[in-house]
């Protein structure tokens, strides 16, 4: 089978890239050939990777990408787009009028898999692409539901994401990170990993942590992620100052790799990502929940989004109401109970074993062969 895939990038330190690369890394390339068209690439280009796509920031670039995709589609049996906008649309347009009907698969990831609500050229093209797809493989049940809300006739199934093991650091490396980040013996440490912005809900979690300060004076909320949204970052700092909890907040934007993440997961008592839906912008799944669980960390995260598939509420964590600091605080309080924490920590280690990229890759290949 000749597979052509379209992806933004294959970088392991990018959420988009990690997803795409982990799926295709589990394709059997002895039985199948593979070409991947990417927009950005790693320093070392993989043998099947062609970094030929341009950023879709102009009509000219968009058309050029469609024509390039069409060129490679001619040689493929199966075309896989890792997200619907713009890659699924490139593939849909590229396949128009080709003499041979090709199988077209798309990944339903999240925000960029949902056609806009109001009519536009983008909505038209995404809807047509979705209807043309042989199947859309959604990363969560919630994303599947959102796609079907806009395009009820779509063929959508669920292929949950896998768990990417993060290597444990040794004692010497831990000492280096201790010296750099100076978390010391603070307890309990609540951790969030993700871009610092309203959709990730760090302010809601901080408000919940502030409510627990009387019970846990040494509590520390560690926020690890990019800080490009300076307005939102400032909201965190202003709230901490106004509520006398500056010493209970650490914002870390210079954690560069998985070893640093290993350090933070190893320090955390609870992992929290209380994301907020912003119309069609939502959490599609949440790989960080599986990463935290692999370290035996109980988790809490928002209901009403893809996080519902990334934890088992009442088993290794709890779902929270979006934007509800009181509910978040109550769920944190439950997990900080020693007996519950021990039980849920053990359960987290089991829960993360249910997910593997090998399983995900097999779902993709089985779909191609149907």
- The terminus-to-terminus CA distance of the chain in angstroms comes to 12
Neighbours of 54 (CB within 10 A): 13
Band (pLDDT 50/70/90 cuts) for residue 165 is confident
* Global pTM value: 0.93
Report the CATH number of the 171-354 domain: 3.40.50.2000
Cα(142)–Cα(206) distance, integer angstroms: 26
Tell me which residue has tokens 């997961």: 265
**3-state SS assignment for residue 218:** coil
**The pLDDT value given to residue 46:** 85
Residue 162's SS3 state is coil
Q: What are phi and psi of 160, to 5 degrees?
A: -60, 150
Mean pLDDT throughout 104-120? 95
Identify the DSSP state of 103: E
Q: Hey, where are the domains in the chain? A: 2-162+355-369, 171-354
pLDDT tens digits, one per residue of 260-272: 999 999 999 999 9
pLDDT above 70 as % of the chain = 100
Residue 315 has a pLDDT of 98
Architecture category of domain 2-162+355-369 in CATH: 3-Layer(aba) Sandwich (3.40)
What local confidence, expressed as pLDDT, does residue 47 receive? Answer: 87
Beta-sheet strand order (sheet of 270-273):
249-252, 220-224, 189-193, 270-273, 299-302, 317-320
Same fold, 2-162+355-369 and 171-354: yes
């Amino acid at each position: 089978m000749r597979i052509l895939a379209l992806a933004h990038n294959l970088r392991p330190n990018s959420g988009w890239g990690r997803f795409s690369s982990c799926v295709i890394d589990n394709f059997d390339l002895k039985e199948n050939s593979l070409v991947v068209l990417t927009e950005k690439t790693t320093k070392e280009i993989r043998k099947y990777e062609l970094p030929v796509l341009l950023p879709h920031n102009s009509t000219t670039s968009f058309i050029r990408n469609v024509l390039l995709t069409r060129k490679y589609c001619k040689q493929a049996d199966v075309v896989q787009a890792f997200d619907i906008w713009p890659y699924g649309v490139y593939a849909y347009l590229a396949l128009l009028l080709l003499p041979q009907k090709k199988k077209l698969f798309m990944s339903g990831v999240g925000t960029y898999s949902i056609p806009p609500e109001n009519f536009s050229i983008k909505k038209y093209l995404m809807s047509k692409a979705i209807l043309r797809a042989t199947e859309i493989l959604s990363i969560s049940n919630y994303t599947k539901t959102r796609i079907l809300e806009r395009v009820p006739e779509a063929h959508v199934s669920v292929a949950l994401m896998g768990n990417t093991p993060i290597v444990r650091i040794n004692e010497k490396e831990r000492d280096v990170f201790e010296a750099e980040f100076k978390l010391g013996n603070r307890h309990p440490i609540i951790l969030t990993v993700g871009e610092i912005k309203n959709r990730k809900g760090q302010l809601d979690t901080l408000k919940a942590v502030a409510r627990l300060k009387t019970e846990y004076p040494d509590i520390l909320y560690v926020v690890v992620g990019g800080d490009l949204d300076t307005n939102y970052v400032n909201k965190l700092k202003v709230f901490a100052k106004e509520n006398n909890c500056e010493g209970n907040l650490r914002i870390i934007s210079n954690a560069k790799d998985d070893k640093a993440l290993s350090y933070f997961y190893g320090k955390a008592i609870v992992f929290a990502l209380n994301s907020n839906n912003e119309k069609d912008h939502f959490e599609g799944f949440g790989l960080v929940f599986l990463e935290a669980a692999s370290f035996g960390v109980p988790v809490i995260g928002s209901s009403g989004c893809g996080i519902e598939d990334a934890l088992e509420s009442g088993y290794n964590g709890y779902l929270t109401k979006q934007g509800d600091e009181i509910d978040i605080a109550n769920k944190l309080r439950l997990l900080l109970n020693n007996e519950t924490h021990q039980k849920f920590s053990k359960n987290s280690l089991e829960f993360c074993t249910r997910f593997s990229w090998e399983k995900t890759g097999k779902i993709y290949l089985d779909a191609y062969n149907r």
